[in-house]
Chains A and B, each alone.
Chain A
Amino acid sequence: MNRILKYVILDIIKNKIVIFYTILIALFSWSSFSLEDNAAKGLLTLLNIILLTVPLVSILFSTIYIYNSSEFIELLVSQPIKRSKIWYSLFAGLAISLSFAFILGAGIPIIVFADFSKAFIMIVVGIFITIIFVALAFLSSILSRDKAKGIGASILLWLYFALLFDGLVLFLLFQLSDYPIEKMMVIITALSPIDLARILMLLQLDVSAMLGYTGAIFKDFFGTQFGLLLSFLLLLLWIIIPFFISLKKFKNKDL
């Protein structure tokens, strides 16, 4: 696998968009910590920025990169190397270099300002979100040969997870506010990686009280060791399922 991984990473790291992205999140991070008077507030501001920008850049950049690599993938397929290895290498290449950009841009200020356990969870959550949206990009770019359709699908996915899903959840909450739906909310949260990540992080910041009774249920569930482990497992599933569907399709794809 690493026979091509190294070259894929070298190619991506030199990409101007990735460099720009690193600088951009570095700017966001340093400024949100310097503008807020305490680190927890800064972390909260940063969390909201990260949960919007990181998924968008990860999914869009990866989708475009995969489409632009189509001829390169053809070249590789004509060489004695398995298709699954090519797909794995591209995935690992994108995931590693975008995670690296995230660590370089946001990770450093987070470690400098926040205390260690919170900083650690925040960075892990950021890396998970990056890789999840790279995996979703693989899924949307294998579904159609048409680049415009693929990019459109990626933008829709991002829009859905970053904005629409929250709206739908709020709508549900209001409509069903007379019923005991707090436990159901825990399950619904698992349906969006961004919300899962947000709640994971909010509970670390002890601001869950702001979420009211639902917050207490969340705390009961996600606050425990088991809950933490389970939510990371769910995040892991968000990587594995889209990627393996795309891998299966790629193995039988005509290039």
Chain B
Amino acid sequence: MIEIKNIAKKFGKLNVLNDINLHLAKGESIALIGPNGCGKTTLIKCILGMVLPNKGEIFFQQKSIFKDIAYRSKIGYMPQIGRYPENMSIGQIIKMVKTIRNSNETLDIDLYEQFEIEKLLNKNMNTLSGGTTQKVSATLAFLFNPNVLILDEPTAGLDPLAAELLKEKIIKERSKGKLILITSHLLSELDDMVSEIIFMQEGALVFHKSVVALKQETQVEKISQAIIHILKHKTV
């Protein structure tokens, strides 16, 4: 579904992404992990067209993303830190994104209901706490029933109940055969959510493997243990 070919990106002299090749298929639920500053967010931003790579191509359903922006209507994106215009209410933000997307898909209001956004519709964005803003971001990402979900640190900042609701929602969407890309530092919570792992280090791809294969190779039960095993033994 998403084909990344030889992507490279430099910020000044710093090589943030170094010749990345990836194939992300439909129905996969992928965790993108790696130490801070390894280029995860930059890679995601390249897919979304926010960062323009110096080199390489990205294809979405066989079409280059640099020519046509229509593919973004098939992606739901939840940023690490969402910030919105101060004087807009939640209702206005949702309405605005609706008019931009102009989609005929039936709206997916699961999270909208579970997070009780309805009660907050008239609240201005500058009065919201960080967690509530994240709830709005999550609701927006899922609202339009996109085929691809890109979630940057989705549960960071959410209270335990909301984080749990979001996890359930991710698992539900995964079972519908959507492509889900998650970055997270909380390896322990990834176990039930993902089927594939992409590990990056210093702007380069270290491996892209299924969770099953990874656990078999390292002979452990959990993703977190498998990653630590790999980091310790440096065997990939």
Contact = CB atoms under 8 A, between A and B. Distances in A.
Interface stretch (B75-83, B176-184, B202-210): B75-83
A142 B8 CA distance: 24
Contacts of A254: 11, 45, 50-52
* Chain A residues touching B, majority SS: helix
A71 B83 contact: yes
Contacts, number: 75
Contacts of B48: 77-78
A255 interface: yes
B133 to A, nearest CB: 10
A4 B11 contact: no
Interface in B63-98: 69-73, 75, 77, 79, 81-88, 92, 95-97
Nearest to A3: B99
Contacts of B51: 254-255
A75 interface: yes
A74 B44 CA distance: 12
A10 to B, nearest CB: 7
Contact of B49 (A3, A7, A68, A77): A77
A15 B70 CA distance: 33
B50 A78 contact: yes
B69 A81 contact: yes
B130 to A, nearest CB: 13
Contacts of B45: 254-255
Interface of B: 11, 45, 48-52, 69-73, 75, 77, 79, 81-88, 92, 95-97, 99-102
7 contacts: A7-B85, A7-B88, A72-B84, A74-B50, A254-B45, A254-B52, A255-B50
